[in-house]
Amino acid sequence: MIKFPIYLDNHSTTKVDPRVLEAMLPYFTEYYGNASSKSHEFGWKAEAAVEFARKQCARLVNCEPRDIIFTSGATESVNLALKGAAEANAAKGNHIITSLIEHEAVLDTCKNLESRGFRVTYLPVDEFGMVSPETLEKAITPQTILVSIMWVNNEIGTIQPIGELSEVCREKKILFHTDATQAVGKLPIDLAAMHIDLMSFSSHKIYGPKGAGALYKKGKIPRVRITPQLDGGAQEKGLRAGTLNVPGIVGFGKACEIAMTDMAADQARIKELRERLYSGLIGGVENIKLNGHPEKRINGNLNISISNIDADSLMISIKDIAVSTGSACSSESVEPSHVLTAIGIDNKLKRSTIRFGVGKFNTAEEIDYTIEKVTEKVKYLFSIMPEAKRNMKGDHASV
């Protein structure tokens, strides 16, 4: 039996796994000490829980626990990484490179750095949202101190060639940061085998609680230096002041542990559901264009444009299905998606774009209902729009 409403917005946030909640609960009511309190058992237990979670997070991405800095989420991690690295390395240069399709956390941070005298180059992407290693290499100058390219795009699901991009930076001895918010827990990540200096990720994208995230900072020689962005305490080796969110961190660690053990099975099932959804939609709806790379994309992402259909009107008509038109972090903006602009989607088609985010708690029954409902409502919207060109088939790329 289907429980309504159906949630298909798992790129925005995810439901907390019941096993994660179970792990967190004692740290609200029993072991509620401050992890910085070193003089009694309440503080010791809280500190031990934080350090265990640090090991769980590190294990998922294969790095040393000491290289994990806990934060309030990926946005804070990005700010700490980019501002911290830029400030700490300003004597070496003032040039930063990123891409046009980064999350607002990166783009807005780069704008802030530009206002402080840093120069930022925004790399273009191809029609699938891919950054070329050759384009990156050409953009590097003697003043370049930092490159930040996201691992997986939050809107169109494209997976970047992070290994190749980071290797360009290794050869040039330039710091490399990646926003891995949509990658961690969904793709195998081996930081010990890659040249990644800084990596941001978050708990609530992997069935953990909101309000917890991490920044990986490479501790191997040469050690990455960053300037702290918060004052007020010596927590997290002096890099992130503030009382630690112990229940959130415990939940984050548990979510990482579950992701490590369940990733292969969960991702195979999610991919099967995503393909079922796409196949069903292109079988019943004309004029569908797939956005993002047809193969190098995260399993749960389906971003499509339906010609001559207003996405907002469609979403209103399928109120019992939670989907989005793009990034939840910019949903209040009336500006068209900067990601769709970067991959060459025209303004009319941008207004016809919907993002489905399939997650591990979705069922085949929910997918089948979504196919039926979306098909029905699209046909209805076509019927009241006589100018719609219903005789044209769209770009039905394999996915």
Residues 41 and 59 in one domain: yes
Residues 254 and 284 in one domain: no
Residues 126 and 59 in one domain: yes
Phi, psi dihedral angles at 301 (to 5 degrees):
-90, 130
Any domain includes 37: yes
Residues 297 and 358 in one domain: yes
Q: Is pLDDT of 261 > 60?
A: yes
The pLDDT assigned to 392 comes to 36
The pLDDT assigned to 332 comes to 57
Any domain includes 375: yes
Any domain includes 396: no
Task: Report the alpha-carbon distance of residue 398 to residue 191 in Å, rounded.
Answer: 31
The pLDDT assigned to 393 comes to 41
Give 78's strand partners: none
Residues 268 and 172 in one domain: no
Residues 232 and 311 in one domain: no
160 Cβ contact partners less than 8 Å away, ≥ 6 residues apart: 130, 131, 149, 150, 151, 152, 153
Q: Is pLDDT of 390 > 70?
A: no
Does the predicted model carry a pTM greater than 0.85? yes
Q: Domain count of the chain?
A: 2
Pick from 191-200, 287-296, 299-308, 329-338: least confident: 329-338
Phi, psi dihedral angles at 220 (to 5 degrees):
-70, 155
DSSP 296: S
The pLDDT assigned to 391 comes to 35
The three-state (H, E, C) secondary structure of 95-154, written as one string: EEEEECCCCHHHHHHHHHHHHCCCEEEEECCCCCCCCCHHHHHHHCCCCEEEEECCCECC
Residues 150 and 227 in one domain: yes
The pLDDT assigned to 333 comes to 56
Q: Could you report the per-residue pLDDT of 317-349, keeping only the tens digit for each? A: 999 999 998 655 555 556 789 999 999 999 999
Residues 247 and 325 in one domain: no
Cα-based angle 178, 176, 228 (whole degrees, multiple of 5) = 85
The pLDDT assigned to 389 comes to 46
Any domain includes 391: no
Q: What's the token pair of residue 40?
A: 């009694």
Residues 311 and 232 in one domain: no
Q: What's the token pair of residue 42?
A: 């309440």
The pLDDT assigned to 8 comes to 98
Tell which wins on pLDDT, 286 or 177: 177
The pLDDT assigned to 93 comes to 98
Residues 243 and 286 in one domain: no
The pLDDT assigned to 167 comes to 98
Any domain includes 197: yes
Any domain includes 159: yes
223 band by pLDDT with thresholds 50, 70 and 90: confident
Helix (H) or strand (E) segment spanning residue 357: strand 353-357
* CATH number of the domain encompassing residue 148: 3.40.640.10
Any domain includes 1: no
* CATH number of the domain encompassing residue 377: 3.90.1150.10
Stretch 91-120: mean pLDDT: 98
Residues 87 and 130 in one domain: yes
First to last CA, the chain: 28
Indicate the residue among 214, 243, 258 that finishes a domain: 258
Q: What percent of the chain has pLDDT over 70?
A: 94
CA-nearest of 157, 159, 135 to 147 is: 135
Average pLDDT, the chain: 94
Any domain includes 395: no
Stretch 141-147: mean pLDDT: 98
Give the range of the structural domain holding residue 269, as residue numbers without chain letter.
6-13+263-383
Indicate the residue among 258, 290, 324 that finishes a domain: 258
Stretch 37-57: mean pLDDT: 98
Give how far Cα 209 sits from Cα of 23, 77, 243, 267, 391, Å.
11, 16, 17, 20, 46
Q: Is pLDDT of 35 > 50?
A: yes
Indicate the residue among 224, 258, 292 that finishes a domain: 258
248 Cβ contact partners less than 8 Å away, ≥ 6 residues apart: 24, 203, 208, 209, 210, 211, 212
Active site residue 169: no
Residues 241 and 287 in one domain: no
